[in-house]
Structure 1
C-alpha cells in the first residue's frame, strides 16, 4: 500500500493545465474531489500548446502520440471517452527512416508489414531478427508497465517484486545498444530501435535495455495523430474536466502558496486567493520547489537531458519523400551522442526529426501550404552554450540546419519558408525549464523509478508533484500517468483501465453530460511570444 496524503482532501487545486495537470484533474474528479485548475496561459496544454501564425496552426509541443489508451483512462475516470472527443488517425508508416547512404526504411507497427519491409531493406535474416526483437519488446513491456512505470514508489524496496526478476531475465539491466544488437546486425536497423533512448536523455550505448520499452510504444503499439493537431488532446481533456465540474482558471499566474505548518492552505494567484485542502503541482521541478520553499536533498546533483532546437516552418511546397514523421540520420552515431551529452557541442553530423503534420491533416495550413517541424537535439545549457549565447547562435544554427536538409534532398527548403518560429534552449530557459531543456531530468539509473524525484515532497503534507520531472518520467504516455499517480496519492484509489465514474462529479452540478457538448471555457489562441516546442509534456511553469 503506497502512501497517500493525510487529512482532508475535498478541494484540490491543480497548478498547470498541461497533460499532467489535466490527467490529474480528471482522475480526481472521478474520485469525487472538487477540482480547480490554474493555468498561467490563456489556453490548456502546457507545452502541448498551439501557435496560430499566418494561417498555420502549429503544435508547440509533442508531435508523437503513442499509447492513447492511457489518455482514455483519464477520460474514463469521469465516464467520458477520448475516442468520442478526438479523432485519432493511426500513422502508416509510423516513421520513415532516411540514412546517409541514401537508403530508406518505412517503420510499420504491423508485424507482418514490418517484417516484409525489413526483408526488403536488409534480407531475410534481419527480418527473422526483427520478429524475435518484437517478441522481446512485448515481453519487456509486460514486465514493466504495471509494476515499474504505472506505479508510485515510496522506497527502493518497492522494486522487489516478481516482475523485477522477469525484467532481469529479459536483460533489462544490460545496455540498450548491445541488447538490440543481439537481434539485429544491420547498424541502420539498430538505430531505428534504439534512437528513442535520447528521449530519456541517455545515449543508446549507456542506456539501460529496459528503455527499449519506448521503442515498443513507437514501433509495436502504434503512433497516432489527432485530427486538428496534437493540441486537440489537451483541449478535449480540458473540455471533459469542465463538463465534469472542474473550475478552469486560465490566464492566472501562481504567485505563492499559503501555509499553516506542514500544510498548504491556499494557492495565491495574481488575481486572488484560492483556499484548498491539497495541491497538485505540475510546473518544472525548480519552479515547483520554489513555490514549496523546499528542495529535496539528493546525494548527487540532477543530470538533465539534452535540449532541442526546433524550427516550425510554414512552406509553400513540400517534398514527396517525407512521411508524417521522417528521421533523417546522419552518418555519425556514437560520436553525435558524445557531442550532445559530454562535450556540450552542437551535432557535427546531425540526426533530425522532421514532422509534416499536413501530410495527415491538410487543414493545419492555408490551402496549398504545408507545415514542417524540424527538431535537432542539442546540448542543454548546463554543459553547452548558455541561454544568452543562443540569441546569436540560434539564427546561425537555423541556417545550418536548412543547408544540411537541402543537401539531403529537401531542395529549395530555405526559399519555401513563408512563416516560421525558431525555438532554442533560450526559450526553454525563459519558460522556466531547468538547464534549458524541455525533457527534464535524464533517465539515468540513479534518476529512474524510486530514485527519480518523488511526487511527494518531505515537509509538506498535502502537496503532490506531477509532470515529466517526477514519477514516472519523460514522454506523453508517462506524463499522463504522472497525473494519474498524483491523483492516487490524493485519493488512495489506483485506477486500472476504464473503471472510472463521473457520477459524483456530475452530482455536484446537478446535471448530466451531453455527447459532443463543450461547456468549458473556450481559451484564446496562443500568443506568438509563447513559443515552446516538441517536448515531453508536463504542466506549465508558473
Structure 2
C-alpha cells in the first residue's frame, strides 16, 4: 500500500509512529525494507558492524568466507523483498543458477549430480539407478511437487500467528493423501527403492534439525526446493552480498541502520511497546518493535515479561555443526559448488546426534565457491566443510572435542581427494563458537521442526499481551532457512501495516 493510501485510510498518526527493528539479519532487513517502502519511520539496530546476522562474513588474511548459509533456494522470495521497494533484483543482486545444484558422492564411489531440468535429472537417475528407478523418480518428483503446491500458500507463505490458520480441512486432507503426515523416510521409500536416491531426497531433513525417521513427510518440500526449484548464488560477493544488498535497499527506501549498537530493553507502556533502549543509554521511541535476533536470549532480558511464550518453555534445539573454512593456494579443477559426501553409516549417524554425541561416520557438505573471484587471490580459492554435530544442550562437554574432530575431518578430506590441508590457512567454527556469536545451545539452526515446534506451535510472530511487539527470524514461523526467514520478516511487516488499514 502506498503512503497516500495509508493517509487516505486515516492512518496518518500510525504512519508516523516510529518502528525499531532489532537485528539486521535477513528477517529484520526483510521487514525493514517493506516498512520503509510503505513510508514508515524505521530504525534498524545491529550489534555487529555489518548486516547479515547468521548470513555473515569473515576474513582471514587475503581470504573471505561466508560464515552462514551456503544454499540459496526460492530466489523469487528474495526478489519480492526488493520489489516491495520498487527495485529489481537483477539490478541490485544478480544471481546465477548453479549447475549442478549438488554433486552427491557415495561411499561406493558412485555419484549423482542434481541438475536443472526434469528430463535431464531423470537421465541422471537412469544413469545411476536404472530405467525402472527413473520411472519411479518421475512419479516421486510429481508427488513432492504436489506437496509443495499444497504447503507453500497454506502454511509456509502465511501468517500462522492465529490457531485458526492451522485449521484448513481441505488442505490437511490433501497433504494426508500425498503422504505428508507419514515419516519422511517412509514416504520416500514408498516411491523409491535405490538407497542412494533415497539419501538424496531425505538428507534435507537435517535442515530442520531432525532425522528422516523423525521428520514428517511434509518436509519433502525441502527436497523439492533444492532439487527441482534449484540452488542459486550471487554473481559477486558471495552469500553475504544478500544482506548487503538488502541493507542498501532498505536505506534507499528511507530506513536508518545503526551498526555497532545493541538493544538492551524493549520498554512498554499502557498501549504496548513504547521504546527500545540501547547500550549507549539512548532511548528510541517506538510504537512497534520487530525482534529479529536469537529469541531465547531475547527473553533473558531484552523483552518484557508479558512477551513470554509458552512455546519456548522447553525448546528442543536442532543439532549444530563444526565448520572448517580453508584458504587454498590452488584451484580445484572440476569441483562442484556444493558436494555432499555421504558416510557409510546412515541411521547410526542420526542416532548419535540425537544422543548428543559426534557422528561416527558423518556426511560432509563441501562448498567450493569458485565463481566468487573476490574471495581469494588470483589462482587461489576458498573451501568450506560442514560436519553436523551435537549442540551444547545435549553434549557432556566440549573440552578437547573440537581438536579431535578437526583431526578426523582433515584425515577424511585427504582420503576424499582434497589433499593434505593441515597446513592450509584455516578458520574453525564449533558449537562453543556459535554460542559466543549469540546462538542459543551453540547451534545456528535454532529450534528443530518436530510437529510441536512447527507452524502455529512455533513461537508466535506477535506477542499477544504486548501490542506492537513482533518477531522475525528462525525461531518463529515459517522457521529455518533463507526463504522462511525472509517470509517471517514479510509477515511481521504486514501485521504492522495492517494496523493502518
TM-score (norm 1): 0.86
1:153 to 157, 160, 165: 160
> What is aligned with 1:215?
223
Write the distance in 2 (CA, Å) between the matches of 1:385 and 1:488: 43
1:409 to 413, 417, 442: 417
> What is aligned with 1:195?
203
Write the distance in 1 (CA, Å) between the matches of 2:131 and 2:389: 36
Write the distance in 2 (CA, Å) between the matches of 1:475 and 1:39: 20
Superposed displacement of residue 431, structure 1 = 2.0
- TM alignment of 1:39-118, pairs within 5 A: 39-118=46-125
> Could you tell which deviates more after superposition, 330-339 or 25-34?
25-34
Write the distance in 1 (CA, Å) between the matches of 2:332 and 2:85: 43
**2:29 corresponds to 1:18:** no
> Could you tell which deviates more after superposition, 266-275 or 318-327?
318-327
> Could you tell which deviates more after superposition, 477-486 or 268-277?
268-277
1:309 to 318, 322, 334: 322
**2:340 corresponds to 1:327:** yes
Q: 1:87-129 deviations in whole A, cap 9, x for unaligned? A: 2110000000011111111111311111111111110111111
| Structure 2 SS opposite 1:314 | strand
> What is aligned with 1:399?
407
Gaps of 5+ in 1: 495-542
> What is aligned with 2:383?
372
> What is aligned with 1:511?
none
Write the distance in 2 (CA, Å) between the matches of 1:141 and 1:50: 32
Write the distance in 1 (CA, Å) between the matches of 2:267 and 2:255: 22
**What root-mean-square deviation, in Å, do the aligned CA atoms of Structure 1 and Structure 2 show?**
1.8
1:181 to 170, 179, 189: 189
| Structure 2 SS opposite 1:70 | helix
Gaps of 5+ in 2: 1-10
| Structure 2 SS opposite 1:229 | coil
Q: Is the 8 A contact 1:312 1:374 kept in 2?
A: yes
> What is aligned with 1:119?
126
> What is aligned with 1:245?
254
> Could you tell which deviates more after superposition, 271-280 or 475-484?
271-280
Write the distance in 2 (CA, Å) between the matches of 1:493 and 1:395: 53
Write the distance in 2 (CA, Å) between the matches of 1:19 and 1:346: 30
Superposed displacement of residue 318, structure 1 = 4.4
Superposed displacement of residue 337, structure 1 = 0.4
How many residues are paired up? 482
Superposed displacement of residue 300, structure 1 = 6.1
1:287 to 291, 297, 300: 297
Write the distance in 1 (CA, Å) between the matches of 2:246 and 2:329: 33
| Structure 1 SS opposite 2:422 | helix
**2:138 corresponds to 1:131:** yes
2:240 to 231, 246, 262: 231
Write the distance in 1 (CA, Å) between the matches of 2:333 and 2:104: 14
**2:351 corresponds to 1:338:** yes
2:177 to 169, 177, 180: 169
> What is aligned with 2:8?
none
Superposed displacement of residue 455, structure 1 = 1.1
Higher relative contact order (CA 8 A, sep 6+): 1
